[in-house]
Amino acid sequence: MSTADLLARLPAALREVPYVGARFPGSRAVAERPGLEHGANCQLFAYAVLAHFGLRAPALRSSDLWEDTESTVRAADPRPLDLLLFNADEDPWGAHVGVHAGCDTVLHLCAEAGRPALWSLADFAARERYRVLLGAKRVTVRAPAG
């Protein structure tokens, strides 16, 4: 899937999700008001993108996602729809999560952009808080059909 294909197949609702850092997988904010129209952090947004494409990412925070072996595998050669983790250092705790969109681009949601954005790997490397690409995780669980 090319970057253009991924974006063309993304519904408008996913392209307009506002960044809200308190809305992460398992948070009280999400439990009380489900749905991305109330905003999302990077993980919640990335997992929703994957769900749209039929993949079920575990509702894990970044360090747990990095260690997970039940629903994901580490991918040495990232491909579209793999999750990429970025941080200021090599610690996965608090890492930023985005979706590989092909051609060295990443679809993600962060406070700086406010809405979903496509950044190159160089864009991440140029920012102190995202300068280290920890690696890629490939979701291996398909979402139930229907």
Residue 52 lies in a domain: yes
Q: Give the closest residue to 85 by CA, choosing from 60, 112, 65.
A: 65
Rg of the chain in Å (alpha carbons): 14
Range of the domain at 81: 3-139
C-alpha of 130 from chain center: 14
- What CATH number has the domain bearing residue 82? 3.90.1720.10
CA distance 53 to 69: 21
End-to-end CA distance of the chain: 22
For tokens 């999700």, what's the residue? 17
Residue 145 lies in a domain: no
> Would you say 126 and 62 are in contact if contact means Cβ atoms under 8 Å apart?
no
* Overall domain count for the chain: 1
Residue 76 lies in a domain: yes
Residue 146 lies in a domain: no
List the pLDDT tens digit at each of the 146 positions of the chain.
777 777 788 999 999 999 999 999 989 999 999 999 999 999 999 999 999 999 999 999 999 999 999 999 999 999 999 999 999 999 999 999 999 999 899 999 999 999 999 999 999 999 999 999 999 999 998 877 65
Residue 144 lies in a domain: no
CA distances 111 to 22, 119, 139, 141, 142, Å, are 11, 14, 25, 29, 29
> Would you say 83 and 65 are in contact if contact means Cβ atoms under 8 Å apart?
yes
Residue 14 lies in a domain: yes
Residue 115 lies in a domain: yes
Residue 110 lies in a domain: yes
